[in-house]
Amino acid sequence: MKKIFFLLGVIALVSSSCKKNRTCACYNPGGEAESFIVNDTKNNTESICQKYYDENYGYYFSETYCKIK
């Protein structure tokens, strides 16, 4: 039984760290402002998307937000 849980854990870990094409899209009240594709893991893509937001829209009164599609 322990081997099954171990194998499932390894499979989950490996599949979550796969590099895939993911889209970071930035939206404002008028709709989608811009988007770009990142080929990386999910966590790295979220970091890249957040960094892009911080550098381009991260001022106090910004109504724009960025998220992974």
3: exposed, middle or buried (C-beta count within 10 Å: 0-12, 13-18, 19+)? Answer: exposed
Confidence (pLDDT) at 1: 74
* Residue 5 contacts residue 13 (beta carbons within 8 Å): no
Confidence (pLDDT) at 69: 86
pTM score of the predicted model: 0.70
Q: What is the mean pLDDT of residues 34-63?
A: 93
59 or 13: which leads in pLDDT: 59
